[in-house]
Chain A
């Protein structure tokens, strides 16, 4: 039976269709999770997609974290369920306290819309288990606030516990220690700025996102 992947839809999300399509491509069973419903409907994996949830008012993710669905997502994560936050979804997960640190405006105030090489640093997470450690993947980024930051103690812990899941080969946004994606202590919650769902076919310029999408349904 194929794995059911729930994709959270907030007012202002704009990457949910790409994720739904990407999950179908790797033969998962995608479904939409509405922000106003306090349930994850028994899915096997949750993706919080990119976009501008609640207009990014106050701060990206600051309002979305109070949506009814987010309490269900937090409960699902606490029980060990895999939760992936992509781009704005990563911002939502940091605001919700499911991942440490914060995402600031890019270095040089540059909005980035390009494809960048990222290196897989850990393969024991729900996002990377079908990828090869050390593999360099070409994946699009599309953000203004993707400059990951955290205090020195958190950074030391992330490195000591091998919780940096993806690193930029060439840092595009000023992220501390070239961080493109991290996981929580239990390794079931992962956040990343790059968009693997936009690299799901050679027709889109890269199919390097497929190993990450396959990991979600493996």
Chain B
């Protein structure tokens, strides 16, 4: 089976985010008031083959731990959808 994967890489809670705080400080100068808690992350999309959803997810989580994130400062949220099944049903 082929799965579409979206990995959202986020700074872990409590880790300072200089990009987020710079954006947050810039927004009021454009008239956007009341914005707080800005955090900047990364979005990574790809497709992956796997026997089933559980094994594909396990592989993506291993990728996140070993390569796509730096676990010292980052977390990942993985979204996985079966691309092939969606194609077959149309």
Contacts and interface: CB of A to CB of B under 8 A. Distances in A.
Given A62-B70, A149-B73, A104 B16 contact: yes
A98 B51 CA distance: 35
Interface string A113-144: 00000000000000000000000000000000
Interface in A78-109: 94-95, 100-102, 104-109
B81 to A, nearest CB: 24
B71 to A, nearest CB: 9
Interface residues of B, number: 10
Interface residues of A, number: 19
A58 to B, nearest CB: 7
B15 A108 contact: no
A150 interface: yes
A58 B18 CA distance: 17
Q: Which of A106, A109, A147 has the most CB of B within 10 A?
A: A109
B18 A150 contact: no
A59 to B, nearest CB: 6
A121 B46 CA distance: 46
A174 interface: yes
Interface string B45-89: 000000000000000000000011010110000000000000000
B22 interface: yes
B19 interface: yes
A109 B72 contact: no
B15 A109 contact: no
A100 B72 CA distance: 9
Nearest to A100: B72
B70 A105 contact: no
B19 A95 contact: no
Contacts of B15: 104, 149
B13 to A, nearest CB: 12
A153 B81 CA distance: 38
B73 A109 contact: no
B19 A59 contact: no
Contact of B18 (A95, A105, A151): A105
A149 B16 contact: yes
